[in-house]
Structure 1
């Protein structure tokens, strides 16, 4: 009987590492009125099936004056998406509409507010190079960090 249980345990190992047993992960990040995020790097374990990003604006200024969002792109698209977002409106979250380069993004929020986005990690590669940033006009170049899918 112990031998049979050992054999069954060995056979079950591949099932435990399948996507059906992947976990959902979450990270919280804060944005300030000084155009900063409190994190420069977000590390996401490869066994996460989806990632929930909670953005908290810990400043006091309203969204129209110092709004922030969280946008994720491949690093090679960061600049172009940031510039394109600057031509959009607050209602568009300063993100180009239907842009395939945008992996995920939150709405723009003001001081004291919070928002979130949940997205599947199937859009990420382990060797990928990703930048998260705020696309509010003028913020994208300095208010940014790196996402590592490991």
Structure 2
């Protein structure tokens, strides 16, 4: 009996040690995406990928010499099937809310604050579980319609 108790205690110690030192699979698989937004109203990355359920951090830096009220950018990831034009145009009226319309928040998975020239903003989110294509946009007035958009492809 003594030998069984000793063996059991040893197994518990090893399992505990492994659980404390081994990073989780999701944390190990976290993805960081760095992109820029410029005066040309484009994201430097228009195609990004993630696995279903993967933790993703997007770091967006605005490169501009214009004042923030004239040129700022954000990253807004939309739900599958969301109408990007409607979300962008409706949100353009909400400068005091980072150009995010409260009535559109159910169509948004994640978003950053606005970043003026030289500023970097970031958001961390969990990629959707459903594989597919998800649009991301900048909701500063006129930017989406000028082409400031991209696609997050979620796939295994």
Q: Which TM-score band (shorter chain)?
A: 0.7 to 0.9
Alignment partners' CA distance in 1, 2:121 and 2:63: 12
- Choose from 100, 110, 115 the match for 1:109: 115
Which residue number in structure 1 is paired with residue 77 of structure 2?
72
Q: What secondary structure is seen at the aligned counterpart in 1 of 2:102?
A: coil
> In terms of Rg, which structure is larger?
2
Give unmatched runs, 5+ long, in structure 2.
Answer: 1-23
How high is the TM-score relative to the length of structure 2? 0.75
Alignment partners' CA distance in 2, 1:87 and 1:139: 13
The C-alpha deviation readout for 1:48-71, integer Å capped at 9, x for no partner, is 2x1100001122222210110000
Contact 2:37-2:63 within 8 A present in 1 as well: yes
- Choose from 126, 133, 136 the match for 2:137: 133
Give unmatched runs, 5+ long, in structure 1.
Answer: 1-19
Q: After the TM superposition, which parts of structure 1 deviate over 4 Å for at least 4 consecutive aligned residues? A: none
How high is the TM-score relative to the length of structure 1? 0.77
Q: Please give the root-mean-square deviation of Cα atoms over the aligned residues, in Å.
A: 1.7
Q: What secondary structure is seen at the aligned counterpart in 1 of 2:69?
A: helix
Which residue number in structure 1 is paired with residue 62 of structure 2?
57
Contact 1:74-1:129 within 8 A present in 2 as well: no
Q: What secondary structure is seen at the aligned counterpart in 2 of 1:35?
A: coil
Alignment partners' CA distance in 1, 2:62 and 2:30: 23
Q: What secondary structure is seen at the aligned counterpart in 1 of 2:31?
A: strand
Q: Report how many residues are paired.
A: 127
Alignment partners' CA distance in 2, 1:76 and 1:47: 19
